[in-house]
Amino acid sequence: MRADPDSLPKTSAQRVQAMRQRRDALGLTRLELYVHPDDHAAVKALAAKLARQRVT
């Protein structure tokens, strides 16, 4: 009796590929941003606010 291939654990490469496909489907792009440590919370809050506005 063989196990269903979907029930087998995924490899790291398979998980990364699936994550990239989900990001591409959502139209997301990567942005690397350097900010002063004092500004981290404000930048994260603004990004969350923009995401909420885009969804509604």
Residues 6+ apart with CB under 8 A from 43: 33, 35
Question: What pTM was estimated for this model as a whole?
Answer: 0.56
**Residue 6: what pLDDT?**
77
Q: What is the pLDDT of residues 5-34, one digit of tens each?
A: 778 899 999 999 999 999 999 898 989 999
Q: What is the pLDDT of residues 29-50, one digit of tens each?
A: 989 999 999 999 999 999 999 9
3-state secondary structure the chain: CCCCHHHCCCCHHHHHHHHHHHHHHHCCCCCCCCCCHHHHHHHHHHHHHHHHHHHC
